[in-house]
Amino acid sequence: MGLLEGRVALITGASRGIGRAMSERFAREGAAVVCAARSADQVKETAAGISATGARAIAIVCDAGVEDDVRRTVAIAVKEFGRLDTLVNNAGDAGPTKTVQDYLVEDWRYTIDSCLTSSYLCIRFAVPEMLKAGHGAIVNISSGAGRRGLPFRIGYCSAKAGQVGMTFGMALELAPHNIRVNCVAPGAVEGERIDSVIAGQAAARGISIEQMRKAMLDRAPLKRMVTANDIVDATVFFCSDMARSISGQVLAVNGGDPAG
């Protein structure tokens, strides 16, 4: 029996990277998975790959920063699987790398909506279903940037810090209803996104990509980036009964960086 046997989980940003790895692992642990993302072809690939193994999964094209999309997604999930008791708020865009004076209001709104408003909306519409189920587990995928900051990324840092505050507030509010809320704060995660972040940071700081990559690695005592599976492991733990007495916590998965 898997760690998430019998759960029904909504995972946003499920089209690639951490979200796809998350969806696949949740299914292997026994959950029925609602894969939600903006990219239609990619999120359908995620769900199809899971279904091909005999596990239960559906794909829903959803912009998690849009209220009507989230309302519809939760309704479809409940119609398909009968309930919803697990939510992973993984959706989010890195946003631009710019000085604050060049960071447009449009940049700000887009990044906040993508990373923070999306988490709020998913919680807002998932919680009534968790109340019906009598239990629930919510995990917000934040970032070390929301705890220690990152130059030239004011929108992203603010949104990710907001997810941490949201975790604390929702954990207190929902605890009487047996709904747990926790947060995973990744450090630098191997993959295309961190390569783009490194390139943007290097350009903004006037250093080489190699120098910027070394600076990121030097920040982690273990001297390596984390993997998508490292983030998935932490999230599965928070959503499983192993964490039944844990709520309102932020777990940094970052190679040992004490700053977050």
**SS3 call for 251:** strand
According to DSSP, the β-strands at 179-186 and 136-141 are parallel
The closest alpha carbon to 119, from 74, 159, 75, 86, belongs to 159
103, 110, 120, 156: the catalytic one is: 156
- 110 given a catalytic annotation: no
First to last CA, the chain: 34
Contact criterion met (CB below 8 Å) for 26 and 236: yes
Q: Which two tokens stand for residue 141?
A: 């995928």
User: C-alpha distances in angstroms, 114 versus 45, 91, 180, 250?
Assistant: 22, 7, 23, 20
Distance CA 22, CA 11 (A): 8
Catalytic residues: 156
